[in-house]
Amino acid sequence: MKELTFYKYHGAGNDFVIVDNRGLTFPADNIAYIEWLCDRRFGIGGDGLMLLQSKEGYDFEMRYFNSDGREASMCGNGGRCIVAFAARLGIIKGKTEFIAVDGPHEAVLESDGTVSLKMTDVKQIDVTGGEYFLDTGSPHFVRFLDNIDSVDVYNEGRAVRYSDRFREKGTNVNFVQQSGNHLVVYTYERGVEAETLACGTGITASVLSAAHKSGLDKGLFSVKAKGGDLSVSFEKAKEGFTNIWLRGPAAFVFRGTIAPNL
């Protein structure tokens, strides 16, 4: 295995190792290697790893792996960061269309580094006892709280993630405090198996749950995560929601090389 060139990005503190894999040289089936790269003590460190690859008919393909080394469902903040990375490589300029595991995505890169990412339509929201479950490219459980700072995100999130209801496939877990069209969101992420500073698909799920709860046909919500501020706009569809855009920062941190893990 050769020395690896990588790039580090974060979207509101949700951080990623990104690799230009247009040459298809990265060992994407090596779970232990990817887990090591994401390890904050022995590797580079990150909530996940992404590969940018060529794909006919699109500007590029995004492949996302959780920090446990396994290829995963869609990551919203990762999607925004890989758009910024594609611009750095000269693949795109202001607008792009790329393909990810959940289908095609449009995105817009602004001059200040902010990226707006169009999310997949959400056709179904399940509500049980005032708690919500929906898929925004990844599965998300949403619980609303009066005082979010009282929640133990790790232990309560883990309890839901491994509950009988979700034991087979797991779920991401979001705790939300709402004040009008402003949310505070804390997320326990499946595959990371810990709280992350922000989760794009989780923030999207939280906004759509709040819109469903409030009976809104369209809107724009501002969201505060522990790692920064984002926003989500949406429109009500005949079934669920459409024209969903996740907007927030996508910051380049550093470029580096790492020796093989022998």
Alpha helical stretches, state H, the chain: 31-38, 76-88, 153-161, 200-214
Do 143 and 102 lie in one domain? The reply is: no
- pTM for the model stands at 0.94
Active site residues: 75, 199
Total structural domains in the chain? 2
Do 112 and 129 lie in one domain? The reply is: no
Q: What is the pLDDT of residues 81-122, one digit of tens each?
A: 999 999 999 999 999 999 999 999 999 999 999 999 999 999
User: What CATH code is carried by the domain that includes residue 148?
Assistant: 3.10.310.10
* φ, ψ (nearest 5 deg) of residue 106: -95, 155
Do 141 and 167 lie in one domain? The reply is: yes
Angle at 115 between CA 110 and CA 120, to 5 degrees: 135
Domain extent at residue 207 = 125-248
Q: What is the pLDDT of residues 188-237, one digit of tens each?
A: 999 899 999 999 999 999 999 999 999 999 999 999 999 999 999 999 99
Do 73 and 14 lie in one domain? The reply is: yes
Q: What is the pLDDT of residues 10-39, one digit of tens each?
A: 999 999 999 999 999 999 999 999 999 999
Kindly indicate the confidence band of residue 262, based on its pLDDT and cuts at 50, 70 and 90: low
- Per DSSP, the residues of 2-49 read --EEEEEEEETTEEEEEEE-TT--S-TT-HHHHHHHH-TTTS---SEE
Q: Is 92 helix (H, G, I), strand (E, B) or coil?
A: coil
One-letter amino acid at 170 equals G
Do 156 and 110 lie in one domain? The reply is: no
Closest residue by Cα to residue 19 from 70, 59, 57, 65: 65
Do 147 and 159 lie in one domain? The reply is: yes
